[in-house]
Amino acid sequence: ATSASVLFGEIYVPGGLTADGQPTNIVEAYSPANNAWRPIANLPKAISEGVTLSDGSYLYLVGGWDGSSYLDNVYVYDATSDSWRPLANLPIPLASATGGVIAGKLFILGGTDGQSALDTCFSYDVAANNWQECPAMLTPRSNAGASVILNKLYILGGDEVVDTELPFGEFYDPTTQTWQV
């Protein structure tokens, strides 16, 4: 119940669940060059099921679950100071979302609000520190995978209803603000 992202050649894994199933605030980074893990600054709170993204300069953790509530928290990690700080909250609390970074904007897609899978799309402008709603996906998805290729955000898999797999992927073009199968 965690996600990971690459920053400066290391794989960062913030939060997740401990062996007893509880969310944690522990963050570790893996260095493939050194074949070793190292601890970094803890998250401000215990979080699992958040979305981890990197824009190449900073690491972001968006949303998640703290063991009792779905979260709208957004945190940024600065490797230079080894510290986390809060950013503008998501418009809604969610967990198990996915996303990507295109042209200086974070895109957060789908997830769950604890009741059902979501078709939501939100973009965060890093420079302006604010969230905008983007057009909804073609179908609700939680626990999906996403990747950015040629400035388009592809989303694959996920659950529309618990334990039901989706038969198609889709992609978002931020230039035209449209989704396509």
Residues 6+ apart with CB under 8 A from 80: none
Residues 125-130 have a mean pLDDT of 94
Pairing type for strands 145-149 and 152-156 reads antiparallel
Reported as a single tens digit per residue, the pLDDT across 70-90 is 999 999 999 999 999 999 999
Contacts of 75 (CB under 8 A, 6+ apart): 43, 44, 60, 61, 84, 85, 86, 87
Kindly report the average pLDDT of the chain as a whole number.
95
**For 1, which DSSP code?**
-
Predicted TM-score (pTM) of the model is: 0.94
Token pair in block for residue 165: 């797999």
Give the pLDDT of residue 160.
67
**Residue 96 to residue 159: CA distance in whole angstroms:** 10
Dihedral sign of CA atoms 167, 172, 173, 179 in order: positive
